[in-house]
Structure 1
Amino acid sequence: MKCGGLGVKDIQNFGEALFLKIVWSLMADEDKLWVKICKTKYFPAVGYWRARNSAGASRMWRQVMARRDVFKEHVKWKIGDGKVVQAISQPWFQSWRVHENASARDRKLKVCELIDEHTGQWNMQRLQSLFQPDQIVDILNEDNKPEAQGMAKDRLVWHVAKNGKYSVKEGYKMMINRQLNVQTTHDFLWPMIWKCKNIAPRVKIFLWRLLKKGLPTGGNMHSRLPNFSPMCQRCHEENEFETHCLFFCHTSRQVWFGGQLGIRVHDLPLDINQAVQEIVSRLDEEGIRIFAYTLWKIWKERNKTVIERGNFQVQGVLKRICALLRPEVNQIQLIPTRIQCVDKYEVHKEGWQVILDASWETSGKIGTAYVVYQKGQLQSIGMHSAEVGDVFQAETLALSQAIDYVYTVMNIPTDTRIQFFSDCLNLVMAVNNGDSEDIPSWRATREVRRIIAAMELCNVGATLHHARREAVIQAHNLANSARREGLNLRGRVHWAMQQQRSINREIDNHYF
């Protein structure tokens, strides 16, 4: 009654709450006979969170699997003695996610094995070997610290309920709140989208279908046709719902990061309406237009990939998006005329190379870094922190700092062949095209012009190339450190070699 209406329960949401009770029992009541049967049949070697839909799975089991993401948002293990919960395979902290590449031994690792038996504190060395830095922060900040729990047993909790147990009443309340949040999101989004006169009607209709969850993604098709596979046909790793299809799939991530908005999507909400709202709320009208056309083009290319069984070419998609947004620009102009932009993803061991990257957060705080190599040998490293307006300005600043350092501090002759590598495709195209008009008006056009002028002084000595994230991972990790710790350091090989062990810890040397 608080939310309006006559107090009559919505039959669809009530039925969903009843079904979620089955899913809760599957996870919380492992001693029940039917739970043991399901575990033996569907996931004998892995936990529920790593289980996959088999070809002969029943319709009921497929429905259980389809609701796993809902539970991932609201359920976690409360750690006691840590002897029950598997650290890799079960959710027990806020940013937990499935670890696809974990070894069979690590998957069986208990939380108690991450605790130092002498001090009762977390074993930081073990945590760092298994989890990402953001996950370690969540583990250390959790209320269920090992020393605070004594000999209490681990237990599964539904954290939106006061007693920690799922009930149909709590489930129904959650479903109603989700529905109200979607309606509120629609009320916020549609005035912003419909007033954009430079968005084509077909794109607006696509956005309407997206927010109404009416697109024929694998997950939506599976809910209507049980024999239809819900698996993403590009990565074959996750069920294809709206957020995975348009944001979280690895090819979609690359499009967003390399596009004009430079968005990192890893921390977006799982709900498509909330994800769209979070992005749109930070954009002006022109930014909303770019965002809408990028979404639409990713969906069109996804359809082409699925129907024609082709490959999703990220750079081709980015070029088509650019042409779609600015039809007056000839596609041939995207081919560099002065400084070559190649589709090479590996940094080769020849001559001088500089890999660079920037780390940016929504508050405007950034970190930049560059790593200088000569014939594959580490020569120098630079790390800086600052505050700028957006991702593109951060990437531009990283390139500008790298150029200044190489030619003014290291005194490398301007006719020496030096290759600069960045994972920001938009920056590479802007510099190589020699025309800052390729950059939207709010971008750092002055800095781009300065970079172009600096590279012109080098004749053919300096070239800028696009490389994927793995090829610049060293600079990426250093930029993250510079942003978090506010570092401003740079040095030649005597200092750089001291840092090499730490920055190479998780790096595949194949790229260098």
Structure 2
Amino acid sequence: MDYRKSPQHYIDRYRYRYRLDYLLIFGEASQEEIATIHHTLTMFCDMSGQQIGSEKSRIWFSKATPAHLRQLAISVFNAQPARGSEVYLGSPITLGKSTDFSPLVDKIDGKLQHWASSMLSQAGKLTLIKAVIEPTMLFAMQTASIPSTTLKLIQSKVRKFFWGKGNERRMPLVSWKSITVPKQQGGLGLKDLLKFQQTLSMKCLWAIASEENSLWVQVVKAKYLQRNTIWSATRTTRCTPLWRAIVAAKPLLRDNVTWLIGNGKTCRAMGQPWHDLWLQYEPTNAAQRKVVVADLVQEQGRGWDCQKLIQLLGFHGALYLAIVLPEGPSLSHREDRLIFKAQNNGQFSIKAAYRFLVQRDNHMHNTPLFPEELYRLIWKTNYVLPRARVFLWRAIREALPVDQVISSRLSKPPKGCPLCGETDETGVHVLFKCANAQPIWRISQFDLTTTGLPDTMGQLLSYLAREIGEQNWPIMVSVLWSWWKDRCKTVYEGTRTNPTRTLGAANYWLTTLQKSNLCNKVARGAAQAQQQNQGLLQTISCWVDASWVHTSSGGCGKAYVLYNEDGSLMQYQMMVGEASSPYHAELLSLKEAVRTVHAMGISRCDFYTDCMLLHDILSGSSSPEAVDWWTYGDTLEWILEWNRHKHFKCLHVNRDQNQLADKLSKFARTRGISTVDFTFPTICVPLM
């Protein structure tokens, strides 16, 4: 800065560089408040050089504002009173009625009408819905509780767009509820807007229940929770729609949270989910609301303070806690944490909460899960056109527009196959058993005979995948998609089928996809070759792995393999134990290996693990908050122990490079071998 120039020079220089737009000011409807706001804005305009856009400014008045104050504010600020349809940053200001969200409905309807004229495929429509419509709804739902009637109206418009062709309306062949479930369960992964709004309400409820220290939480507590906890709060006659939505989400979140007691200074002793009978003990006065768990424990942290416990919870409540937790909560230096049980790390996330609501609804309605094999074949196989994936999904869901499906939907007698005259035109018949489809499969590389095939498309595709192998699956899909296109042209345009043309088109699509993915394939191959051709290790190395199975006891197998600097095998060990999760098993295996190496007098060692989460936590690139909440304490204690070994490193490798430790841990778990320990100082075993 040139100090010879006056401060006014820099004010004038940067006056128009920084602009303040979309300012929202709250104030009391009084003459003093109007004068203060006007004076402040005038000072800001004089200093910054900006001016108030009166034609764009609006004033919202409460219902109790007197008429003379309304006229005073309008004349002072030279702004018009706001109407009910006004928006701020894309969100309605006045909320409560379905008409308040008419701009949102019109915006989405305009996008859908524009896209409908583009003659998109269903794969393209699916992409646009996920990339544009759902983020638009998410933005609106984050600041308002949209009425269910509005959400259902938007969902109906999206459904018509997905199933229609251009502006032509067509009959949906799969229920929208089935489409909005995850792909693993047979849907397309679109969001159910009603469930998603419940998820966002659960997020707000979580922020209040976890004692989050943010401004909006403090405002809500001051207005609605002066005499109640969040779990006992109810709706009032004058509450906002957002608060009604938060209160309605209590049953969804209440049974899926629990307090993990640390120092006991955050979790309140009454009205908080830290034991099973917490719902029966709500605070009745301000003194009880201030009592925390740490107040019920003796000063030395050695058991309950029975007098305080009985005084607060009564004899029966104190007796229950004395039986369940006879030694009291084990207080530590860590802070109390509210745990979300539906997420492994205990942290609330919108993704985990929405997944919980979907699974809960499917369980209540006994919706069968989509077979994992079919899910992988449809959505995870390489070199398959996106529109062909949606086509396969429709075929498995019996949603292709064939005669049997259409006649059953319209309750009309079937007309049969228009190509061969068979009475039952099903998806299996059209794609495999039709007289016009059989020549294609005979001259293809599969040489497939269509007799004796399963009658349902799901069973048929699973059977073919096992017979032809996963490497030939993209070719099979290309042939299916090409034949379906030719069949539709024959039925609706009168063209003749040509097996050679069908196979040629299938080969063209497959070749095009393979060429487009060639660059990525070469890059991945080069990275793998570089990783496998690493130089010899310069220090002692220990390769660690664990095998875990979900049982009542959480059985796991642990193993480590210790190599010398020259790659010779020094020692290996495998053990059987118990763990609460796969991560916990990996952690216990590494702890055992580190303690053994330290006991052998080795001061410098590199530990290799294929558990990315464990590596990230020990290297400091990931927080311990990401681990399973029931092993959170073990992880923190282990980090302190690990940091004492300054010359020990934790490195990550692929599972293929850690095969020996992987096989030993699985062998220990399946055979129940507790300990095997051999030392081979002269035998050389390759590292890879």
Instruction: Indicate the TM-score class for this superposition, using the shorter chain for normalisation.
Output: 0.3 to 0.5
Asked which structure has the greater RCO (Cα within 8 Å, sep 6+), the reply is 1
- Find the structure with the greater CA-based Rg: 2
TM-score, scaled to structure 2: 0.25
TM-score, scaled to structure 1: 0.33
